[in-house]
Amino acid sequence: MISICQSDALIEGGLGVRFPVTAGSDDAVGFVIRYAGAVHAYLNRCAHVPVELDWNPGEFLESSGLYIMCATHGAIYQPETGHCSGGPCRGARLRKIHVTESDGMIYWHPDDYIQPVIA
């Protein structure tokens, strides 16, 4: 597991925290948000066209705070699942990154596709 940030860096419905990853063989960015009392992390890549989602660094939620929204296409995603519930990629989903919260820290866990940054 790889640390992302301290738990108190994520406020319910507030800014997310970006972190570097390798997706397949490409440098990429992951992000973590706090929603409904839990942390959720995804690859920062729209399911419609592979562009980063945030409006400004860390701004992933739309104004109501209920959905993750792509700044480019307006696609909206469920924060708990990454499922696209509106917009050009309806039915698709964001790539989930497994995260845990322990002892005041948030960590991400590599998988077969999302790996630490290659030096």
Sign of CA dihedral 52, 94, 18, 118: negative
DSSP string, 38-101: EEEEEES--SSSS----SSTT--B-TTSSSEE-TTT--EE-TTT-BEEESTTTT-B--EEEEEE
CATH code of the domain containing 110: 2.102.10.10
Residue 88: the pLDDT is 82
3-15 mean pLDDT = 94
Domain that holds residue 17: 2-115
Residue 73: the pLDDT is 84
Residue 90: the pLDDT is 81
- Provide the number of structural domains found in the chain: 1
pLDDT per residue over 37-93, tens digit each?
999 999 999 988 889 999 999 999 998 889 999 999 889 999 999 999 988 888 899
